[in-house]
Structure 1
């Protein structure tokens, strides 16, 4: 025998216990995920209250973190969620992602693998595939740009050197950091463990490479040479 959790309608709650009023009185941090989503959705449907609808959105995704990579199509597949409500959720998620980057007038400085991980994790924490990411740095180790060079399968990434060097030359990078993002259950001996994935970093200085040498590498790499990252190994 199973029992469904009863979710009250807004009208059944005391005015002081309704999400908006609680946020005003107690602050946003005091609200549950369900209440925050209910505020974003604003209204329910003829059949369900906004709290019931918010509860179904949460039930649709395995965890709240999955929302940060949800698509419009995925969100609108939840009964009662049309494009307008889905857009409201996506806009809130994107705003949160941008805030989590702690953007400021100064460029982000990489001093250690942990710094690189802190920079990448807001976007990478819930990935379902292996990714090969490159950070491009200036002479002060400040991040000029980050780029996902390749999105692999569940357990491997194939990376062509020409893609890495082409972008590095374009950005006038003094150094680059390779970030290979893999799923937790496929990794063993890498030194940075996060809730959803392991990160392996390789640091490569370009300061001593002349533009001519780099361009030569680009030409050589067009022959089809590539790196394959799979199950902890470069093959």
Structure 2
């Protein structure tokens, strides 16, 4: 199988976690505390993945300057886009660990919610595609981190759409479309970036890493803390350690 096609399939698999989360939010009465635990654990997994799989690899291949530049650009891009989306109704797209949103909040624009999911999913999928080596396989830690972080997003957003009166066809159509886009992003990331200079790949990888870290600090950990409180640090640490062990054994 062509490497770029394999990368696309891995991206689609990771994106399918959005559908799993959406299904759980639609059909299962998942307690908010459980989602918060998952979010805190996923935050630790993401920090481990971006530290050992993304930033470290980017610095080795492209140098410290390119990595630092991309890392800061990614963080700035996420913060700016998140603020813009928050003004258009997407502030609560990852508020699963908080109390149930009001009906007005749940009626936030479906387009804005989808854009918010893509904001996280596209760079993550590109990085996932880049982690597929020429000999096949995938960066297991990156795949696990993306998969785990996608579940709470799909869960919380679908629950909000359901409360707003959106039909199942709309909800699952949105998340299925985003999952496909994640697969395409991983495919294109591998296909288009295969021959570019290492410094370019380093910048792109670091951009995704910076955006992910900003998302973890701005959204996942604060929202998890709303329910897990003093256990947030411990749960996040367990997620980090689990990811680190998986990376060493993978």
TM-score range with shorter-chain normalisation?
under 0.3
Structure with more helix by fraction: 2
Give me the TM-score of the superposition, normalised by structure 2: 0.24
Bigger strand share = 1
Structure number with bigger Rg: 1
Give the TM-score taking structure 1 as reference length. Answer: 0.25
